[in-house]
Amino acid sequence: YVRLVKQYQVLELDETGKVWLILSIVDISPDQEEFNGSRSQLLNFRTGEIIPLEAPTKVRFELTKREMEVLKMVKEGYLSKEISDKLAISVHTVNTHRQRFLEKLGANNSFEAIMFASKLGLLE
């Protein structure tokens, strides 16, 4: 992933006051650290007000032994079916463990979970 900065500037309005022409600028963000989570905000074009969106729920790091096993296997590139075969558990159980470690690490996907867990030293 590459983080981008997007900016919009209204250049012209029509007779009714609706936006007719906008300038959009997209640039690569200087903030390219391994994991910073997602940060989002809304911009009210009419008032210029910036509205921060709610931060994700507090990150919890207490992964179970099995969640750690599954996370390490995901990092090694195993698919859910392969993990279920190696650990002698169902694919559904593997996917439940995957969902739980995503929630606990505050990650949106497995890649983010692996990067965040690595940064915290959980995968050493």
Instruction: Give the model confidence (pLDDT) of 3-24 as tens digits.
Output: 778 888 888 899 998 988 888 8
pLDDT at site 32: 60
* Distance between start and end Cα atoms, the chain: 23
Strands 41-43 and 4-13: unpaired
- Total structural domains within the chain: 2
- In this structure, is residue 58 part of a structural domain? no
- In this structure, is residue 124 part of a structural domain? no
Q: For the residues 64-83, what does the mean pLDDT come to?
A: 95
Does residue 91 have a pLDDT over 80? yes
Greater confidence, 94 or 39? 94
CA 120 to chain centroid: 16
Q: Tell me the CATH number at 79.
A: 1.10.10.10
| Residues of the domain holding 82 | 65-119
- Full-model pTM: 0.54
- In this structure, is residue 57 part of a structural domain? no
